[in-house]
Amino acid sequence: MSADTTQRLISAELVGLDEDLGATSSDVIRVLADRVAATGRAADGAALAEDAIKREASVGTGVPGGIAIPHARSASVSSPTLAFSRLARKVPFGAPDGDADVVFMIAVPEGADKDHLTVLSTLARALIREDFTAALRAASTPQEIVDLVEREVGGEVAAAGVGNASSASRPAAAPSTQAASGDATTSNTAARARKVIVGVTACPTGIAHTYMAADALVAAAQRAGAEMHVETQGSSQVEPLDPALIARADAVVFAVDVDVRDRGRFAGKPLVSGPVKRGVDEPDKMIAEALRAADDPNAARVQGGAATAETTKPDEHFGQALKRWLLTGVSYMIPFVAGGGLLIALGFLLAGYGIALQHGDSGQNNAVYTLTNYTLVNLPPEGLAYYLGAAAFQIGGVSLGFLVAALAGYIAYAIADRPGIAPGFVAGSIAVFMNAGFLGGLVGGLIAGGAAYWIGRIPTWRWLRGLMPVVIIPLFASIIASGLMLLVLGGPIAWVMTQLTAWLNSLSGASAILLGIILGLMMAFDLGGPVNKVAYAFAVAGLGAGSATNVVPFEIMAAVMAAGMVPPLALALASTVLYRRGFTKPERENGKAAWLLGASFISEGAIPFAAADPLRVIPASMIGAAVTGAISMAAGVTSRAPHGGIFVFFAIGNIWMFIVAILAGTVVSALVLVGLKKWVRRRPVDEAAAGSEAAVAAETVGQRAPVAA
């Protein structure tokens, strides 16, 4: 299997030797991506390059020894592929020891099968071996490179078995470590005298760094005289560490860029953690820290599945942590709101707005009455569309009913990890029961998460630790948080929510326009940053309170979404239509993409422009967004969907004024920007530097989640 798989992965046409591909990592990636596309393995070389550049911008793929492994999952890739270049001019890829002259680009389709991913991860692990990289540097023909890869991958897959990712050790690289990785209950006295370290490695794509970090840590532990076992949580099959092995471990190392799966298994163990790149670049330091932590009673420990803020974010102050907790809750809440809002809008589209009204004296709305008294084989007099509209409306309403509970549950999750979810959901449900609304959900989630985190830190007996995250923490945290909400805080918070609702319902005329202006300014101020997300979170959290008689929350959502669409649309208009010569070529290319990003309500489409020229782009964006927010609120435009832009037109009330508001703000913002570019001089900077600056900014757009995240 391996040789055949390798032939599909790489061919001589994908190999280049002693070539100059440019001065930057992006230059090299673009050439290799085009090389992949030229062989028919990717539909669009530019799209593949963009995906790989975004991945590179988040964490450099350079590793010690002059090696770089840019990689990406991309929808444009049709089959897993390797492209290789030995560079005549070294290029920086972010390695700590210097630039790279050997580059393997790994291109993987979104749905790559496990066997291919196993082969790719095996190759990535081989690249930290000096004998393999020396052979790559000594090869004289492209076919020699192909043969080297085939022999390496074939031998590894035959030795380890395709899909087996349980051990980080390799026969050639760490024979003694592999021997020590046998029976977890070994009675060998000499082996047991050594410190035992267990670890987890994981990176976002799970293709290269996950496995390279594992091998590097195993080798470092061997050099330090310790026994190391690593669970690679990558794209290949994950085989969890033996619980008996975890139980006898002296310390834990997490080299991860994503959440550790089933973290509670390691509860109470001394912990050293860092990004996966550190596992590749500084494995000896991480192992030394783990050995010291094993002998230090005051060392940081895995908190029984509780929050990781103390160990993974030591420099985070309380304000940053609070923002992260709240935005995590909003992020996880959005799918409930999005699905519910769109289904309700679909229900109105199919059955009309009367579906939400009460049916006679039945005490039920028309949707519930229809679903209770009719079926698909016994349709109501209004017909099939009406019946399906009733179903969509009811499902959407149930989905929105989870809004506050999900908000509270995932705020608590952000604070205390999985043990906080149940207390948070219960506290959020109590907030709904007390009519405390989303504000009660915020408070309940914070209390539940804090209680779960605090209980998880209480020292306890080893035999009790297994019950902590699944029984004890959820039980007592629920009692604390829900008890406080029910007996003490729920009433006052409900009063505050009543006053807030009354104030919002009273908004009209100038006050509503002023609110629209403020929301528009916030949405354009930092384009997906904290201020933008505060305005967005305010709008989304209020959706659950909207109804046929209280449309203000829907109006706020419409104003926020429309204003957030303006900056990228305005930059697209200015750079591709009104004033092309005032923008660099990379900016004009970004402007083409910004049309779709703006129409989809992704404010980050304006970031490349703002990064290159913030003092003119941001003020212009804010002016246009404020105009849009004011028009939207004045016209009473509503949105039952929290995201989607123009593509959720059926969820928009007064759709034509929604479009007018967006067009007005876009034109105003674009004209202001053109005026500023013509008549307000920026600090002198040469055209090439400006283009490079914009290009770098463009590559970072993928690092920030869309505004709904």
Q: How far apart are CA 81 and CA 42, in angstroms?
A: 9
Q: How far apart are CA 111 and CA 118, in angstroms?
A: 14
With beta carbons less than 8 A apart as the criterion, state whether 295 and 264 touch.
Answer: no
Options 71, 116, 229, 643, the catalytic residue: 71
> Which residues have CB under 8 Å from 13's CB, separation 6+?
35, 38, 39, 142
Q: How far apart are CA 9 and CA 3, in angstroms?
A: 10
Q: How far apart are CA 248 and CA 255, in angstroms?
A: 20
SS (H, E, C) 612-633: HCHHHHHHHHHHHHHHHHHHHH
Phi and psi dihedrals of 337, rounded to 5?
A: -70, -45
Amino acid 52 reads A
Q: What are the DSSP calls for 473-487, one per residue?
A: HHHHHHHHHHHHIII
Phi and psi dihedrals of 254, rounded to 5?
A: -110, 115
Q: What are the DSSP calls for 1-51, one per residue?
A: -HHHHHHHH--GGGEEEEE---SSHHHHHHHHHHHHHHTTSBS-HHHHHHH
Active site residue 203: yes
Q: How far apart are CA 36 and CA 683, in angstroms?
A: 41
Q: How far apart are CA 221 and CA 206, in angstroms?
A: 22
DSSP symbol at 365: B
With beta carbons less than 8 A apart as the criterion, state whether 36 and 9 touch.
Answer: no
List, in sequence order, the alpha helices (H) in 379-506. 384-401, 403-416, 421-433, 437-456, 462-465, 473-484, 490-506
> Which residues have CB under 8 Å from 381's CB, separation 6+?
none
Total residue length of the chain: 709
Q: How far apart are CA 673 and CA 690, in angstroms?
A: 17
Closest CA to 299 of 313, 286, 311: 311
Q: How far apart are CA 589 and CA 200, in angstroms?
A: 41
> Which residues have CB under 8 Å from 659's CB, separation 6+?
646
Closest CA to 82 of 167, 7, 23, 175: 7
Q: How far apart are CA 564 and CA 707, in angstroms?
A: 9
Q: How far apart are CA 479 and CA 396, in angstroms?
A: 30
Integer distance in angstroms from the first to the last C-alpha of the chain? 41
With beta carbons less than 8 A apart as the criterion, state whether 523 and 560 touch.
Answer: yes
Which 3 state secondary structure label does DSSP give 250? coil
Phi and psi dihedrals of 648, rounded to 5?
A: -110, 40
Active site residue 71: yes
Q: How far apart are CA 95 and CA 658, in angstroms?
A: 49
Options 116, 203, 209, 229, the catalytic residue: 203
Please identify every residue annotated as catalytic: 71, 203
